[in-house]
Amino acid sequence: MSDTPTIFAIIAEELARIAADKGETLPSLTPDSLFLGGDLPIDSLDLATLLVLLEQRTGQDPFRDGLRQFTTVGELAALYRETV
Amino acid sequence: MHPRPLWLHPDVHLLEGDGDAVWRSWRWPDLMGRPLPPDGVVRADRPSTLLAALAAAEREDRALLLSRREGGANGWRAEPGFSITLESSGTTGEPKRVRHDVQRLLGRVRGRVDPSARWLLTYEAGAFAGLQVVLTAATTGATLVAVPGGGVQALAAAARDQAVTHISGTPSFWRAFLMALGDGLPSLRSVTLGGEAADQPLLDRLSAVFPSARLRHIYASTEAGAVFAVADGRAGFPAVWLDQGVDGVALRLNEGVLELRSPRATLAAGDGWLSTGDLVERHGDRVLFVGRADGVVNVGGVKVSPEAVEQRVLAVAGVADALVQAKANPITGFVLTAQIQPAPGSDEAALRARIRDALAELVPAARPRVITLVDHIPISTTGKKGRKAVP
């Protein structure tokens, strides 16, 4: 284990901040948590914001060549390399 | 007993959900008795309210304002005769109002009578695109499923629970909708995209996910309304249309900006040509949309001017300079980001709070979603801020 946070941890941290900005509390995240259509208090603008923040934090943009399908937190995390 | 308007098909059926699986059902006899309010202003957040108001305005030969926010008329005066006035979403300040001739609006609605069609309303009922969907359902005798105020989760549940067959939405809607649907796919017969440029990866996914649906993307401009529909599953439009025109509309390029001449246009220059403000590029046999000449970007279907938002940020005390940019993303097309150069000695928390207050009156799509404090704002070699959208 290294000391750098995993992509999953970064997603959890940024999502919690996005939710807090809206006065919402994030339920505990699992790799199976759905971004939209589940019980996370976020909308598509929030999700877009998360992707911008992830690019800032990781320097990676897995969507440079267009849409890649993901619906869960785990699926999104898998699109990034763990080299933060 | 009021007579049914000629344009309203007797089979039309409205289903309005509260987002909690409770559905209210409306047919013409449920709608016909409602009078128009004395000021002619109706908050158009529900298809049932909208259709009832439209029928009442026609019956009473009066003007109708479909208001999209609390606060009502605010300076609007009803002109004599039957007309309908719509409000833009108004990304900065007051909404723009446009008055429409109802027969002309109805004349634009396409589609054959099909009471088996079940439409999902993905737009606000009082938005231009929303009104077109409501009128399409009303004139073709379809069922219209709506979840007023509901987000994409509620719409995905509605599409499944009500076995929706026809959906029209922005590309941003479709991306979020596909995510929210997961594996529970409705079996769609018609998939329509409009309001922003449709990109090829999204079109490919939609045709893979809904193989038996008719897939179309619509190009419309504010002045000319719907201009053409592209049904070959490819982004942009055939370059040959620049020479031959399409559906009675002539097209040409002027310094990269698409211009058109349409018999349906309401406003045009003396020679009949109208600039759309849309930048396009020719790639082989195809013409692709690449953005707006005025820098306006589309954030989840809402047109947003980074420059106008930047002006607002620059007015905040403690901001020495600012750069607002559009950043591309696969969910909403773009979001705005802001880089802020604080005035010397500003407190960061207080500055962020003031910026947040200054942006609070904008619609959510127009607010910069990521705000970064920087030592200086980068200037390009031309001496301008590098406002170009970031891929």
The closest alpha carbon to B81, from B115, B54, B65, B58, belongs to: B58
Q: Is residue B374 helix, strand or coil? A: coil
The yes-or-no verdict on residue B226 having pLDDT over 80 is no
Contact B223, B266 (CB under 8 A): yes
Domains and CATH numbers, chain B: 13-164 (no CATH), 297-373 (3.30.300.30)
Residue in chain A nearest B353 by alpha carbon: A21
Q: Predicted ipTM? A: 0.88
Average pLDDT, chain B: 88
* Residue B146 parent element (H or E): strand B143-146
Averaging pLDDT over each range in A36-50, B217-231, B371-385, which range is the top one?
A: A36-50
The yes-or-no verdict on residue B378 having pLDDT over 80 is no
- Both tokens assigned to B165: 């067959």
The closest alpha carbon to A46, from B147, B329, B297, belongs to: B329
DSSP alpha helix (H) spans, B238-303: 241-244
Count CB-CB contacts under 10 A for residue B391.
8
Q: What is the CATH number of domain A7-77?
A: 1.10.1200
Give CA–CA dist B237/B261, Å, rounded: 17
Q: Positive or negative, the Cα torsion across B15, B19, B22, B24?
A: negative
The yes-or-no verdict on residue B267 having pLDDT over 70 is no
Q: Residue with structure tokens 């609006």?
A: B105
**How sure is the predictor about B1, in pLDDT bands with cuts at 50, 70 and 90?**
low
Residue in chain A nearest B158 by alpha carbon: A37
Between chain A and chain B, the number of residue pairs with CB atoms below 8 A apart is 76
Beta-strand pair B286-292/B237-238: antiparallel
Residue pLDDT, tens place only, A35-78 = 987 889 999 999 999 999 999 999 999 988 766 788 899 999 99
Give CA–CA dist A16/B331, Å, rounded: 19
Q: Residue with structure tokens 């058109």?
A: B260
| Contact residues, chain B, for A71 at CB < 8 Å | 179, 182
What is the number of alpha carbons within 13 Å of residue B222 lying toward its C-beta?
A: 12
Greatest CA separation for chain B: 71
Does the beta carbon of B153 lie under 8 angstroms from any beta carbon of chain A?
Answer: yes
- Both tokens assigned to B100: 């429409």
Q: Which residue has the higher pLDDT, B315 or B71?
A: B315
Q: What is the pLDDT of residue B337?
A: 95
Q: Which residue has the higher pLDDT, A7 or B270?
A: A7
Q: What is the pLDDT of residue B2?
A: 81
Q: What is the pLDDT of residue B165?
A: 98
Q: What is the pLDDT of residue B390?
A: 65
Q: What is the pLDDT of residue B18?
A: 87
Q: What is the pLDDT of residue A19?
A: 93
- Both tokens assigned to B93: 């300040």
Residue pLDDT, tens place only, B230-266 = 999 999 999 999 999 998 899 999 989 999 998 776 6
The closest alpha carbon to B131, from B217, B221, B66, belongs to: B66
Q: What is the pLDDT of residue B189?
A: 97
* pTM, 2 dp: 0.79
Residue pLDDT, tens place only, B159-198 = 999 999 999 999 888 988 998 887 889 999 999 999 888 9
Give CA–CA dist B278/B276, Å, rounded: 5
Give CA–CA dist B180/B213, Å, rounded: 19
Residue pLDDT, tens place only, B189-212 = 999 999 888 988 889 999 999 999
Minimum mean pLDDT range among B70-84, B184-198, B288-302, B349-363 = B70-84
| Contact residues, chain B, for A64 at CB < 8 Å | 391
Q: What is the pLDDT of residue B387?
A: 60
Angle B171-181/B200-209 helices, nearest 10 degrees?
Answer: 40
Residue pLDDT, tens place only, A2-17 = 556 799 999 999 999 9
Q: What is the pLDDT of residue B70?
A: 72
Residue pLDDT, tens place only, B273-296 = 888 889 999 999 999 998 888 888
Q: What is the pLDDT of residue B55?
A: 95
Question: Which residues of A lie inside 8 Å of B (Cβ-Cβ)?
Answer: 34-38, 43-45, 47-49, 51-53, 56, 63-64, 66-71
**Cβ–Cβ gap A45/B205 under 8 Å:** no
